[in-house]
Structure 1
Amino acid sequence: MAGKPYFYALRSTVCNRPGWLSRFLDLLKPYLLRLMLAGLCMIGVSAFTALMAYLIKPAMDDIFVRKDIRMLKVMPFVVLAVFFLKGLCQWASDYLLQHVGLSAVASLRRRLFHHILHMPLSFFDRESGGVLISRITNDVQEIQNAVSKAVTGIVRDVFMVLGLVFVIFYQNWRLALVAVAVLPVAFLPLFVFGRILRRLAMKGQQAMAQLTTVVHEAFRGIRIVKAFCREDHEKKRFDSRNDNYVRYARKSAWFDALSSPLMEFIGSIGIASIMAYGGYEVIMGRATPGSFFSFTGALLMLYKPVKSLSKVNSFIQRGIASLERVYAVLEGSDGVENTGRSRLKPIKKRVDGFVEFRNVTFGYGEEPVLKDLSFRVSPGEIVALVGPSGAGKTSLVNLIPRFYDVWEGSVLVDGVDVRDMDLEYLRRQVALVTQQSFLFNDTIRNNIAYGWPHPDTPPDEEAILTAVRLAYADEFIECLPEGLDTVVGEQGVRLSGGQQQRICIARAILKDAPILILDEATSSLDSQAELEVQKALDNLMRGRTTFIIAHRLSTVLRADRIFVVSEGRIVEEGSHTDLIERGGLYARLYRLQFSGLSDFSKSSSATQ
């Protein structure tokens, strides 16, 4: 079916993606000039390090063996100058590389967050919030460590190795061949442990994502946790995920800790061989003590950067694993939302509100939820959608702002297929009030201003006050110590359910969209709060094409038409009176709901 979700397109994209090295290079490409400057400074570091090793020869031979007083006067100042210039280059290179690493990763974090915001809802249906938070925080942090620390170490150490290799070959090429022959063996742990560390890093990041999910869910649902006395259960969940992460971290630490002493031991084989062979050369008079100690000093300096490479290896492997996880999101099979080809935006700023479903079929998995739906709603008409839970009512209204795309058929607004409309423009034409009133942990003013339809201009204060008044929210806002500047708390916890809903209605009023969707907007409220919210909804619905989803049939009596949805189809259509007279599904639902209320009232009266 056309437009069917990822079930038909699901396939691995890992093999089709570029390698991790090319991705790192893409991250660093915008900072090429700074990298070149850092590289020049690194060359300076390696050159001065090599010069320090070389200066051992004249210091030993001219000062301590030949007792040259002129060299004694000059050499201390030369050594000071070399150390100063080396330190200056070291500072500049480290700062530039840290700057590049922080900037590159900040850009990647921004790109990842922006990309996730534009992913379709099917992506969020599948991925948990904790996993996504882990991608943006933990994974990106590991990439930052790889770029800032590992790249710094690699560039510095590689240049240092090259400079020192030149010195040892210049001093004694025969001894140098013995030393360099050991280097490939010394590097062996890097290659052997590298693959193990990368695999462990990938599993460790997955374990951290699971841990973050548990924390995210526990804190967001803390009232449910406490209400059901499930603190111990959440502790066990956390401890299990935490222990799982620590298990992989310990394995990584084991291999990481082993690689450095192993390389050092292998390097000691080369040093012992050189000590024996070089000492024999000095005793036989084929080399001076100065040249031998200069060679030995350069060799000891050479093994230091080689050993350092083993330490940065763990940063690299964790960075590669995290980079693959981040790009799995950036290049995932879902892709970003199709923004459409705008044919309506240049014509008028506001649609009339004519909505048509034409042979629409849609679902989330293999089976369709909506089946061959067709109907028309005129501008300003109020339509109620009723029916059993799971009948497809919310799925139906979700297709209007293109939260999902249809499998077959089309949804039209003012005669234009929503898939051919600019997505941002389309969604500016639709206001939404849901059962779960979502408020940001911000002031009431800013929560209402979130609906301001002109993002390029600051919200108009008078428009906000008008929205507050029409939503009947001014009554309780005036009683708050800070009024509109009151912070509502996490998920609006400092306000009652009815107050939260009226803030959401004020936000929708401020948006002033011609199409309105009310998805169970009053079902979670008590009778008194529902009456207050209903007055606000009456103001909100005035002059707008409105879709009302409600299980409480008392809230749909004012609708112009009622659609009864069952098993993905509209089985009845008409006014409340017409549907009651027909005696179909709507009449049965109505009698069931109100007979239950009547029986409850009689029972209460009898008890009294």
Structure 2
Amino acid sequence: MTKSKFIMHYLLLNKFSYLLAIVCIFIVNYLQVEIPRYIQLAVDLLNQSTLESKAGLVENVEWVIALSVVMVVVRILSRMYALNPGRITEAALKNDVFHRLNRLPSTFHDKFASGKLISIINNDLNGIRLFYGIGFLQLFNILFALSLTPIWMWKISPELTLYSVIPIAIAAIIFRIGFRKLRALHAERLNRLQDLSEQLMNYLSGIDLIKNQQMGDWVTNEVNKVNRRLYDCTMQIAKIQTIYMPILDYANHFMKVLILGLGGYYLLQAKLTIGEITAFLSYSVLLALPLMHLGRIVTVYQMGMISIDSVQNILNNAVPSTDMLRMDDNEKSALRRSTLSVQNLSYGYPNAKDKQSQMVLKDLSFSIEPGEKVGVLGSIGAGKSTLVNCLNHHLSLDPGQIFWGDKDITQVSRQDWRSYVRTITQDPFLFSATISENVKFGAKRKNQDVDELDVAQVLELSQLQEDVQRFGARDQTLVGEKGIMLSGGQKQRLSIARALLTPSDLIIMDNVLSAVDYETERTILKGVFNRIQEQSLLVVSHRVSALEYMDKILVLEQGEIIARGTHAELLESSSYYRQTWELQQHESEASA
């Protein structure tokens, strides 16, 4: 979407409100230029003492009061109709941006840090709100004021009107110079805000490490550097606004002096009356207000244009075409309880310099039948997490490598694919909510009703129920930001409970039992087996004890499958598997 289409799209979102606002703004400006005309007539009648003049004076004053009251009411309406769309647009854009962020692939999020995205959503969308709100209001105020007011001034004195324009024209030329400088600085300021937001988010995420390693002074110094650049940029903007923006105000004051001087001269020459000079001065005030607002609207316009560029960096990023396709209920049902087939899967990360030598996965082939329990054993760096991210389509793959039944998963939208496959990671993300709400999160996503007995059951299966009972508020205990109130093992067990609550065809457990002891690990796995007897399970671990009851086990080393079979078969056929088993048995006995 181009910038012009973007602007029009969100303008049309509130077209009726904007149309009413334009009508109201026109009425306000028309009444503003009409009121001085009645003031002029009233002032000219002050020198007369006839009954007709007194009656005319009272009538003109009444008109001024009546029109002023109407103008106040219509002005309030104009602000309501013009400013509310800014808030509506901001809310709509936040929804659109978050919706797009939720659908963009991991390659996009690798390029844009979360801190920058948060800054765009907060700071840049605030600029767009002002653009569609106060910017729209002041734009039409200025347009109508600068078109209607000079016409009424011309009716009183064409010569005085022409003289009044001279200081305004000179000020406009000087103002344009400052306008050009401001645009680049506003763009730089928003970038500095994004840098500061990104850095603060990084340091706050690692605040415990910073304290433990006594890195406070270094972190403070780094933040000060970024903050200083933001400060310098903001000060440059302030200097330009201080020098160039008041030019229009100075021009307005000079215009008033000019009107009084020339007006007095024309009064002595009997070319103008006192009432006409009074009206002309009133019009000069009306002309001054939009000129004073011109500096603000220029700032709002620049911020809006720059903010739109930032937001378009998100909205214009293409969602993969397959993610735009959604299967209907019949297609989804047909693929239930299918076989997952991996055929010659190879993967290397796009940023690798030598793709061939940096292949993380090399020619993997295996299958997981419906209801089958499969284990993957591998040391650190063997490619286990990359395999998991390929299977759940977190990474972008070449077609023809992973199939669900006869369907290539690259031809299935990620949203549809995750209705079949659920992944439990070793670093689970928990929301700052209660234990119960974190367990129910997956069910809320599918709009399913969940019984509290179901929650208690999955907590029991994941060996977390005893811990929960020790908490003061039990399953209503708040876990804190990212689950800070829970230990590493409790977080992992809570993520298992969340995955077990709602059914799926394949559950992938990516080293999720690394933070629990061997006995708890066996108990959890037995509970999982009982819960998901008809569901497929893939357990990825570096512990043999987590895999010994699997239907088959794949041994992964440096991205290749070096052995496969049951636990008993691998103890006989694979020296790597046997040595790992014996080493971990000694560790388990020593720990006991």
Q: TM-score, normalised by structure 2?
A: 0.90
Secondary structure at 2:23's aligned position in 1? helix
Q: In the alignment, what sits opposite 1:92? A: 77
Is the 8 Å Cα contact of residues 33 and 148 (structure 2) preserved in structure 1? yes
Distance 1:532 1:573, change over 3 A: closer
Distance 1:584 1:256, change over 3 A: farther
Aligned with residue 438 of structure 1, among 424, 429, 438? 429
Is the 8 Å Cα contact of residues 516 and 546 (structure 1) preserved in structure 2? yes
Inter-partner Cα distance in structure 2 for 1:190 and 1:551: 68
Distance 1:193 1:484, change over 3 A: same
Aligned with residue 498 of structure 1, among 483, 489, 495? 489
Deviation digits for residues 206-253 of structure 1 (CA, Å, limit 9, x no counterpart):
211222223323333333333333333333333333222222222222
Inter-partner Cα distance in structure 2 for 1:396 and 1:310: 57
Aligned AA for 2:554? F
Inter-partner Cα distance in structure 1 for 2:317 and 2:514: 37
Inter-partner Cα distance in structure 2 for 1:336 and 1:265: 57
Aligned with residue 221 of structure 2, among 213, 228, 236? 236
Q: In the alignment, what sits opposite 2:19? A: 36
Q: In the alignment, what sits opposite 1:48? A: 31
The answer to whether 1:480 aligns with 2:471 is yes
Deviation digits for residues 439-480 of structure 1 (CA, Å, limit 9, x no counterpart):
211111111111228823422333323322322332222333
Inter-partner Cα distance in structure 2 for 1:419 and 1:149: 46
Q: Which deviates further from its counterpart, 324-333 or 486-495?
A: 486-495
Aligned with residue 263 of structure 1, among 216, 237, 248? 248
Secondary structure at 2:280's aligned position in 1? helix
Inter-partner Cα distance in structure 2 for 1:310 and 1:259: 9
Distance 1:596 1:207, change over 3 A: farther
Q: In the alignment, what sits opposite 2:306? A: 321
Inter-partner Cα distance in structure 2 for 1:107 and 1:219: 29
Displacement of 1:580: 4.3
Q: Which deviates further from its counterpart, 185-194 or 313-322?
A: 185-194
Q: Which deviates further from its counterpart, 258-267 or 436-445?
A: 258-267
Secondary structure at 1:212's aligned position in 2? helix
Distance 1:457 1:64, change over 3 A: farther
Displacement of 1:353: 4.3
Aligned AA for 1:55? Y
Aligned AA for 2:10? L
- Describe how 1:272-287 pairs up with structure 2 within 5 A: 272-287=257-272
Displacement of 1:519: 0.6
Is the 8 Å Cα contact of residues 397 and 410 (structure 2) preserved in structure 1? no
The answer to whether 1:253 aligns with 2:247 is no
Deviation digits for residues 515-556 of structure 1 (CA, Å, limit 9, x no counterpart):
111111112335565455445444456443222221223322
Q: In the alignment, what sits opposite 1:18? A: 2
Inter-partner Cα distance in structure 1 for 2:246 and 2:445: 63
Is the 8 Å Cα contact of residues 360 and 410 (structure 1) preserved in structure 2? yes
Secondary structure at 1:207's aligned position in 2? helix
Q: In the alignment, what sits opposite 1:171? A: 156
Inter-partner Cα distance in structure 1 for 2:312 and 2:375: 43
Inter-partner Cα distance in structure 2 for 1:482 and 1:353: 42
Aligned with residue 206 of structure 1, among 191, 196, 214? 191
Aligned with residue 380 of structure 1, among 371, 379, 383? 371
Displacement of 1:356: 0.6
Inter-partner Cα distance in structure 2 for 1:269 and 1:459: 73
Is the 8 Å Cα contact of residues 431 and 511 (structure 1) preserved in structure 2? no
Q: In the alignment, what sits opposite 1:116? A: 101
Displacement of 1:50: 0.8
Aligned AA for 1:489? G
Distance 1:370 1:409, change over 3 A: farther
Inter-partner Cα distance in structure 1 for 2:512 and 2:531: 12
Q: In the alignment, what sits opposite 1:6? A: none
Displacement of 1:407: 2.3
Q: Which deviates further from its counterpart, 249-258 or 39-48?
A: 249-258
Displacement of 1:186: 2.8
Aligned AA for 2:177? V
Secondary structure at 1:556's aligned position in 2? coil
Is the 8 Å Cα contact of residues 249 and 291 (structure 2) preserved in structure 1? no
Deviation digits for residues 182-206 of structure 1 (CA, Å, limit 9, x no counterpart):
4343333453333322222222112
Aligned AA for 2:208? R
Q: In the alignment, what sits opposite 1:126? A: 111
Q: In the alignment, what sits opposite 2:86? A: 101
The answer to whether 1:462 aligns with 2:446 is no
Q: TM-score, normalised by structure 1?
A: 0.88
Displacement of 1:349: 6.9
Inter-partner Cα distance in structure 2 for 1:230 and 1:96: 52
Inter-partner Cα distance in structure 1 for 2:119 and 2:138: 26
Aligned AA for 2:535? R
Is the 8 Å Cα contact of residues 433 and 519 (structure 1) preserved in structure 2? yes
Deviation digits for residues 410-460 of structure 1 (CA, Å, limit 9, x no counterpart):
311122211333543321211222111222111111111112288234223
Aligned AA for 2:273? T
- Structure 2's unaligned 5+ residue stretches are none
The answer to whether 1:195 aligns with 2:180 is yes
Displacement of 1:111: 1.0
Secondary structure at 2:555's aligned position in 1? strand
Aligned AA for 1:125? D
Distance 1:27 1:61, change over 3 A: same
Displacement of 1:313: 1.5
Over the matched positions of the two proteins, sequence identity in percent amounts to: 24
Aligned with residue 58 of structure 1, among 41, 44, 66? 41
Deviation digits for residues 324-364 of structure 1 (CA, Å, limit 9, x no counterpart):
10111100256687244638853627722411112333333
Distance 1:536 1:205, change over 3 A: farther
Distance 1:189 1:142, change over 3 A: farther
Distance 1:353 1:235, change over 3 A: farther
Secondary structure at 1:488's aligned position in 2? coil
Displacement of 1:161: 2.1
Aligned AA for 1:502? R
Distance 1:44 1:335, change over 3 A: farther
- Alpha-carbon RMSD: 2.9
Aligned AA for 2:410? R
Distance 1:448 1:92, change over 3 A: same
Inter-partner Cα distance in structure 2 for 1:342 and 1:401: 17
